[in-house]
Structures are given as structure tokens and as C-alpha cells.
Amino acid sequence: MELRKDPITRSWVITGDDPGAQRTDSPCPFCSDAGSNVQVIAKSPDSPGSPWSARSVVHPTPLYHIEGEPGRRGDGIYDCMSSVGAHEVLVENPRHDRHIWNASDDEIAHFLRLAAERILDLKRDPRIKYISLFKDYGKNAGQEFAHPTSQLTATLFVPRRVLYELRAGREYFVSKERCVFCDIIQQEERQALRVIEARGDYLALCPYAPRVPFETWIMPRNHDAAFERTGLNKPGLRTNLAALLRRTLQRIRSVSEEFHLVLHTSPSTMHPSKNLGYWKTIDDDYHWHIEILPVIPAKAKSYTFKEVYYSPVSSETAVNQLREAKIEG
Ligand SMILES: [Zn+2]
Ligand SMILES: [Zn+2]
Ligand SMILES: [Zn+2]
């Protein structure tokens, strides 16, 4: 597999002929008692009855490899490089059946802290530009493992959507000297049309222009560009975030069991990028958040075009259904 850059949109894609490695999920390679040969990178403190509460391991079939040189090269007008970076599986819980929506807030907080530590650690590698944390749940969402897991990739480029957000955030800041995300939060809290729930310093809301029905964002109400700072330094905040994440996923699952979840945090500023000017003001103009996109196949099927998002449920309607969803705890 290698990374190729689309010369028109300038987005990187991973491509190659994947041999389609056969994966056997039994026994589960991530269960604490499995004598599997997973390569453990880090773990968070013990939980009762288990030597760890969350841990990060090298992905069994990684898309990115930490060793080697990117070997960035041209091929006529094209650019390509080797897939250098990191690819980890974050095991959210030692128990095979304890997903975020039915775990304790303490367990989720441990997982969030581990995620923050891994992001900080990978940001120390000056080659790395961006770290993505994501979770795919359900067959139609591209779920890979049965065990409760998220995945993390560290790349030598910033993924396209994050790049859009960074550039838009900077432009807004240049003209208004305010963070666009903070302004969104203020208006949403004032209008109370699309807010699902506020929990301490965190807010769950349906965005004004959703890409899919019931799209939901979780954001800190106080400005912070980097999740990993919040995640590490403020245990009280972490518990609020854990509770909001758990409750929001319960609400989402009342609509669709399957979803994508992605964390958008600031890129690594260790990397001396020449062509991107956002590094100097990034702490002011970017604002970390979690995006949750439910997968609703019946709604997606009738509209195949991907260039303009079509979301046949408005956020004002979605928010009522999500607010009223029956949740526990
Ligand atoms: Zn398992
Ligand atoms: Zn902000
Ligand atoms: Zn985002």
C-alpha cells in the first residue's frame, strides 16, 4: 500500500492491492485473558479484576508503519509516498461486551485519558502532522473487531476534512478575531434549537447543516484547540465528558445501532510546515470536537450522489428525538 495525492483536490489516499488478510476473531485478540501476541504500547491503570482498564496495541494489520522513510517522490505530475506513520487499536475496556454506552463513567474516563496520552506521545514525533482517533461501529460502518475498540492513526499529512476546518477556522479568526466554534456554541446555546444536552463544560448538539440525519457533535463549551490537553489535565472535566459521550451514544443508538465517531483535535505543531500558515494562531482559531455520524442505510440508499450531502431529517427534528430517547444513568 502507498499514499498517493490527488493533484486536483490535493487529498491523500491510501491505495494498492490489498491481499485481504484473513482475520480470525476467535479467540478475541483483545480480551485481557487471551494469550494473544498483541504488541502492547501503553495501558491505563488497573480496574477491579483486571490488570488494565484500557490499553493501546499495535494494529494487527497496520495501514501505517512507524519504521522507514516516507520516501516522498514525484511521478511526473503526481506525488506519492510510503505509508509511514502509526496505526494503533485502543482497547476501550478489558471486557468483551462492555461498550462505551454501557460502561461506567470511570472506565470511559480511563479510555479518554489513554487516548489523550497516545495523541500527546505521537505528537512528539516531528515527522507526524496529524493524529486521528475514530471508531466505526456496525457492519455498515466498517467495524473491524468485535471487542470494544477505537483506532488511532498518526499520519504525515492532515486529513482533508480537518484541513478544511483548520483553514476555515483561521479565515474566520482573521476577519472576526473570534473562534468560529465558540460562536457556534454561543448561538446554539442561546437559540436552544439544536442542543441535545449540556453536561458541565461539554455540549452535545445537532449541527445546523448535518451531513447525515442525526449527525451529532460533542464540544467543550470553553475554548480549547487540543483534546489531549483537556483529556489529561482536568479529571473532573474528563468525567463529565465520559458521561456525555456515554449518554449521547445511547441516544444515537436509539436511532441507529451503527455509527462513525471521529475526534477532531489540533494538528501537531512540532512539524515545521512551510505551506500551511495556521500554526501560529491555531490555539486561538481551532476548537476540538467529536463528530458522530449515524449510519442509516435506508436513508442513504435512495441518494447516491456524494458531492452534496442530503439529510432528509432536519437537525431541529432530530434533536427532539435524541433528547427524548430513553437512556440509562
Ligand atoms: Zn474481546
Ligand atoms: Zn473556540
Ligand atoms: Zn470536525
Instruction: Mark the ranges of the chain whose per-residue pLDDT is less than 70.
Output: 20-26, 32-36, 231, 271-279, 298-307
CA of 290 to the centre of ligand 3 (A): 7
Which strand ranges, in their side-by-side order, compose the sheet holding 195-199? 40-43, 55-58, 86-91, 149-155, 130-137, 259-264, 289-294, 216-220, 202-205, 195-199
Cis peptide bond N-terminal to 62, omega within 30: no
Considering every ligand atom shown, identify the ligand nearest to the alpha carbon of residue 89 and give its number.
Answer: 1
Distance 169 CA to ligand 3 centre (A): 11
Distance 162 CA to ligand 3 centre (A): 6
> 217 CA to middle of ligand 3, Å?
8
Report how far ligand 1's centroid is from the alpha carbon of 88 (Å): 16
Q: For position 23, what pLDDT does the model report?
A: 61
Cell numbers for 104, please give them: 461506567
- The confidence score (pLDDT) of residue 33 equals 63
pLDDT for res 68 = 83
Q: Residue for cell digits 490527488?
A: 6
Which ligand lies nearest to the CA atom of residue 27 in the structure?
1
Give pLDDT, residue 276: 57
Measured in Å, residue 51 CA sits from the centre of ligand 1 at 15
Residue 147 CA to residue 174 CA, distance in Å, equals 44
pLDDT of residue 32: 67
What is the whole-number distance in angstroms between the Cα of residue 61 and the centre of ligand 1?
Answer: 17
CA distance 68 to 85: 9
19 CA distance to ligand 1 middle (Å): 25
Q: Given this model, what pLDDT does residue 92 score?
A: 96
Q: How far is the CA of 1 from the centre of ligand 1 (A)?
A: 28
Ligand 2 center–CA 185 separation, angstroms: 8
Separation between Cα atoms, residue 205 and residue 197, nearest integer Å:
7
pLDDT, tens digit, 9 for 90 and up, residues 187-208? 999 999 999 999 999 999 999 9
For residue 275, the model assigns a pLDDT of 55
Q: What is the pLDDT at residue 269?
A: 78
In this predicted model, what pLDDT tens digit does every residue of 144-175 receive, in sequence order? 999 999 999 999 999 999 999 999 999 999 99
Q: Which ligand is nearest to the CA of 284?
A: 2
Cα–Cα distances in angstroms (integers) from residue 1 to residues 8, 15, 20, 134, 327, in the given order: 21, 5, 12, 21, 43
CA of 153 to the centre of ligand 1 (A): 21
Q: pTM to 2 decimals?
A: 0.92
